[in-house]
Structure 1
């Protein structure tokens, strides 16, 4: 891209998108910490000073990319109406497994999101400007509400009081599992030792398994609470 000053809002939006696309493409094949503003500017066809007209830090660029990817992911789940109908199975056996598989399939279909989301807590939040961070958090709050509705519509039995915590729980799972599944060549060679295979984690497989266990745990807790209430009512009726 040959540099010309953006004169209109459309041209500015085009520049911003070019910067985000350049950074996003670099992230697909490189570690986040190895990517610098100079590389991003070069990939976008800008000079570094011109890039500063739109973003003041690498963190702000990747926070904007994360916002785009979250929107894409949640939008894809919302529009997957066929799966929504198929997954309305109440508390039937297999519902938790079916939902976990559906959820993880959509999540891992976003090529950057599994690696990018954990960075939100460790780098992006702390190094972005106040205005952009506030905008991102407001968008994240909306995303969380939409996720809660996605869960409610596909797992109708899921406790209403637990829906608000579901997005936070998923962030915790991804933030914990993804670094364990992202390994260097040296790490992979070490894990060829049969005694160390327990540390060879496949992210998609493990995330699905842990999510299924999490949902089953919520269901078991709900069943136990219901049984306790029923037992209490039975005792009260017998007095």
Structure 2
């Protein structure tokens, strides 16, 4: 009976040791699983950190690119504003020049009209503005003691011989041909400025005559 009791006690110790070993192995396996899981999580975290850094670098590049684009836009807007201001100034200058030019043109027209009026009275000549510059058409009045003689004329502006003959005829009648020619020249200039349309076919062959607008007077015989 004593031996059985001793063996039973020994078995219990062996069993207790075996149970502890099993528990230790179970704990070790649990720790190994936790370590493996920790390492796996750590790798995931490291990978996430690397990806995060990569994303941050990309974001920084985008930020730098956007900043450069913004700086370029700001620079462009500043240049554009300067150009707009310069254009405004140029437009102001051009408006002033146009204003001055129009004033000079009006002044020139007034001077031409005054000259035409003076020459028309001096030569007794009235020119049809509508016929210019293709034709030199009108009438010259030669005042006489008893009656006025009408000298009508209607020639192509390119008819050099006809114009020359007319000038000689007027000269023979004691009409100042130089004044008459100046009158025709001024009349042509005024007509060209008043009607800057496509010139007639004969206009290219015309001499540079200046145009005017005059109405035929009522002449009493």
TM-score range, shorter chain: under 0.3
- The structure where strand makes up a greater share of residues is 2
- Which protein is bigger by CA-based radius of gyration? 2
